Structure 1
Amino acid sequence: MKKLRVITQHFNKRNIIMALALVALVVVFMKYDLVTAMDIIGEPDYNSPVDEDVNRYEPDGDEYYDNDSLGVFLIEYDEAQIENFIVANVAEATDSSHLVTSKGNEYPVANCLDNDLSTMWQDGEDGYGEGSELKFSFDDDVRLRCIRIFGGSGKSEKKYFENGRVRDITVVIDDLACPVVLEDYNGYQLIWLDGDVYCDDVAITVNSVYTGSEYEDTCISEITFFAE
């Protein structure tokens, strides 16, 4: 009986040693396979564009705008949503073109900043002004929260539908670009920025429009920037 007990103890110790050795061997092979795989595929490039990613937009010549970290989207306008924000002061506003009539009347981007829906910016291009760009610079860096826009003529409902209305736009904030599709709505719309957006300038490019029933002039009556 004593001899049998000694043999059993020896057998158990040997099994434990073999098991530990097997585990160590598996770990070594796993590490080797991982290193080999990394040698083959290389380190991942987290800055490279991701194809077919609905959360990313690739504007020509601009950086990627990652909506995973900063959402930019259109929401229904409600005064209560902006009552706790302040209006960011625009120090300078420029446009790539604006209408100058034969009588010398001008429709510059400054008309978008006067809190008067009867005045407006109108493009100065042939056709509907696709590609027109409006630029706004602030006094200093602001924490931008939303952009309120009236994307057509606010003079009257009749004038709204007679002229072109903004549809697809690209909002560029400090070289980060994001597309927004406005509704064909005779009223204010709100572009909401979901994240910490600190900037000192914003550009808006008109990509496409809702066509007018009478005129090819595309209008924007008001643009207001709200910050914290």
Structure 2
Amino acid sequence: MSIEPEARVSTADAAAKKKRKLIKRASGVVSVFFVAVVAPVVVILVTRQGATTTSAPSCDDPASLHLVRSISAAADNYLTEPNNGEVHLPALAIDRDPSTAWVEDGQQKYGEGTTITFTFATEADLQMICVVNGYAKSAKTFTENARARVWSVHTRGPAVESTLKDKPESDFDAYQKLRITTGPTSTVAMTIEVVRPPTGTIRYSDTALSEVLFFAR
């Protein structure tokens, strides 16, 4: 059905009035809306006038951060198992396989004070470090070996202590986020400050670190 010219004008006027009302309402606190602002690191959601929430990158969702891939690793020491000769080199902490691990040699109090150092091929704007703490080959190895409770993490500037919550046995291979100083760096040094002793039926006197992931922007 066609609309006469006069009717078209009336309809346009009604639409304009409705639009002005909506604009007027939106200028008050009554309105509820959200705007997603995608930044390199965080996503900001505006839920209502003057109220915002931030969603930071996590080990489960690194958002726009990228993985630093070209890395080498060295440590004060590492374990060679006396029974089978298996060697737990520092490089096993960055092989993308949580079932392998760097294990310190267990010569002194679960390796407290032992440092593992990672070197990037090129400087990276480091924003997050995620670790699989302990020996995550299985739930059994997780309970048989010690894991760090407190890491001292040196990226740039003074070192920062990062305390990790203990994981339930069922989450033995879960990633945890370390507290760090963010920014450009080409090396990361992680020192075992305090350990959680093993709790299994068999208990070894060494501390393990299964995997480390580095995220930059």
**Structure 1 Cα separation of the partners of residues 181 and 147 of structure 2:** 26
**1:171-198 deviations in Å (ceiling 9; x for gaps):** 0113521111111113210125575x11
Unaligned runs of 5+ in 1: 1-74
- Superposed, 1:70-85 pairs within 5 Å as 78-80=59-61, 82-85=62-65
Number of equivalenced pairs: 152
2:205 pairs with 1:216: yes
What is residue 51 of structure 1 aligned with on the other side? none
2:118 pairs with 1:136: yes
**Structure 2 Cα separation of the partners of residues 120 and 194 of structure 1:** 25
2:101 pairs with 1:112: no
What is the Cα deviation at residue 110 of structure 1? 0.5
2:44 pairs with 1:96: no
- Superposed, 1:21-40 pairs within 5 Å as none
- After TM superposition, the score normalised by the length of structure 2 is 0.65
Unaligned runs of 5+ in 2: 1-55
Percent of residue pairs bearing the same amino acid type: 28
What is the Cα deviation at residue 125 of structure 1? 3.2
Higher strand share: 2
**Structure 1 Cα separation of the partners of residues 121 and 132 of structure 2:** 23
**Structure 1 Cα separation of the partners of residues 153 and 180 of structure 2:** 11
What is residue 177 of structure 1 aligned with on the other side? 159
**1:176-223 deviations in Å (ceiling 9; x for gaps):** 21111111113210125575x111111000011000131112111000
Q: Tell me which amino acid in the other structure corresponds to 2:164.
A: L
What is residue 125 of structure 1 aligned with on the other side? 106
What is the Cα deviation at residue 76 of structure 1? 10
RMSD between superposed Cα atoms in Å: 2.0
Change (3 A) 1:198 1:91: same
Whose Rg is larger? 1
Higher helix share: 1
**1:52-73 deviations in Å (ceiling 9; x for gaps):** xxxxxxxxxxxxxxxxxxxxxx
Q: Which runs of 4+ in 1 moved over 6 A?
A: none
